[in-house]
Chain A
């Protein structure tokens, strides 16, 4: 059982839909992340939130919009996505500036049709 919970596990959406991915961490961490994992590519960092402030946005298209209402919750709002956005979206959390204790959620497998 992971301390980082993501919902939904699977999502199929049309290009004109609006949906949101949700992440919740129960570990008391102070940083949360969104990563994208596409086939045959390394994990790509999308957004970093530290203490509820966005500290990193790795040139992600505006059709992806993150929201971090508190240190335990992270959302990724999706709208007008493209088929190439189909991927596994992973949330992670960590405590402080150390490489240890970086915990991933199980991910949301997104298919855009």
Chain B
């Protein structure tokens, strides 16, 4: 089983639509969860962190279900500028004392918002 699995995509949606991305992770010891956004031929950038209580940032809502090991991202009122690949990212924070950590990335789901 893949460590972080996402919807295969691509998602092609009209402007103004609501779109939801799903993600599952295999390691129940995972500590932190994120959604990153990657534009074509650019580096990934943090979109938002994901908390068990759910969190919202404008048109974006992220949810985490630890029992099901499931993460979601909802985008409301899609804009053309939302077109990108959305990466589900999980952190297995290590208690190494080294002050570093690893992020495990999903393959990403490509979103195209169409005029």
Q: Choose among A51, A90, A107 the residue that contacts B99 (Cβ–Cβ < 8 A).
A: A51
Q: Which of B61-94 contact A (CB under 8 A)?
A: 87, 89, 91, 93-94
Tell me the chain B residues, 13-50 only, with Cβ under 8 Å from chain A.
Answer: 31-34, 41-46, 49
- Closest approach, in angstroms, between the C-beta of A108 and any C-beta of chain B? 11
A41 with B101, Cβ < 8 A, contacts A97-B94, A104-B43, A106-B43 known: no
Name the distance in Å between A71's Cβ and chain B's nearest Cβ: 11
**CA of A102 to CA of B107, assembled, Å:** 18
By the criterion of a CB under 8 Å from any partner CB, how many residues of chain A are at the interface?
Answer: 28
Q: Which of B32, B94, B98: most chain A CB closer than 10 A?
A: B98
Residues of B near A107 (CB, < 8 A) are 42-43
B4 located at the interface, meaning its Cβ lies under 8 Å from any Cβ of chain A in the complex: yes
Surface stretch bound by B, among A13-21, A42-50, A74-82:
A42-50
A55 touching B96 by the CB < 8 A rule? Answer: yes
- Please give, as numbers and ranges, the residues of chain B lying within 8 Å of A51 by CB-CB distance: 98-99
Query: Footprint of B on A, CB under 8 Å?
Result: 2, 30-31, 40-43, 45, 48-51, 53, 55-56, 90, 94, 96-100, 102, 104-107, 109
- 17 residue pairs A–B, Cβ–Cβ below 8 Å: A30-B100, A31-B101, A42-B4, A42-B105, A42-B108, A45-B102, A45-B104, A49-B100, A56-B100, A90-B43, A94-B101, A97-B94, A99-B32, A100-B46, A102-B103, A104-B43, A106-B42
